[in-house]
Amino acid sequence: MRVRRATLADLPPIAAIEKASFPDPWPAELLAAYFDDRHALVLVAEDPCVVAFLIARTESSSRRGRVLHIHDLAVAPSHRRRAVGGLLLAELISVARRQGVPRLGLEVRVDNVSARRFYEHYGFQTVQRVARYYDDGGAALRMEHDLEGPSLGSWVEGLSARSRSRPASSP
C-alpha cells in the first residue's frame, strides 16, 4: 500500500470510489476543481490501483487559526477496515507538520456513524454540532484533531505495519 499525491489522471478512480461510498456523490467536475486549487491537497492510496482518496484544504479563521480541513475521504468498499483511511490521515498529518499547521478539522454527518467512529478512533474530538449543515437539512458534527497534543505518535507509526499485515481478502 502506497500513499501519494494525486494527479488529474487519478480522477476516474477517485470519482468511482466517491460514487461507491456516498448516496449523494460529488460530481467529477467538483472533485476535479480541487486539482486547480493551490490550497488543496489530494492524496490517494494505491494497492496497486487507487483504492482510497483524501481531499483537504489549508484554511484559516481568526478564531481557530490555521487548519487542514478534510473535505472528502473515502476508501473503496473492498478495502475498508484495513487501516487504509488511517494511512491517508497519517500522511495528512505529516503534511500538516511540514506546513506548521497545528490542527485537522472536518464536518461529518451526524448519522454517518462509521465515519464518526473512524475519526474518533484516530483521536478526533467533536467540538460543535451544526444543525442543517447539509443541503438536505442534515446535521453535522464538527470534529478536530489537535496535532500539538501528546498522544499521536504511536498510531501513526503503527499504521503502515498494520496495513501491510492485512491480506487483501480479509473482511
Which residues of this protein are in contact with ligand COA, per CB under 6 A? 21, 73-75, 80-86, 108, 112, 114-115, 117-118, 121
Task: Pick the closer one to ligand COA by CB: 81 or 129.
Answer: 81
User: For the sheet containing 2-5, what is the strand order?
Assistant: 2-5, 40-46, 50-61, 65-75, 103-109, 140-146, 125-130
Q: Compute the distance between CA of residue 112 and CA of residue 49 in angstroms, rounded to an integer.
A: 26
Task: Pick the closer one to ligand COA by CB: 8 or 113.
Answer: 113
Residue written as cell 478564531?
A: 63
CA 147 from centre of chain: 15
Minimum CB–partner distance for residue 36 and ligand COA (Å): 22
Q: What is the DSSP letter of 10?
A: G
Task: Pick the closer one to ligand COA by CB: 86 or 123.
Answer: 86
Minimum CB–partner distance for residue 85 and ligand COA (Å): 3
Minimum CB–partner distance for residue 158 and ligand COA (Å): 11
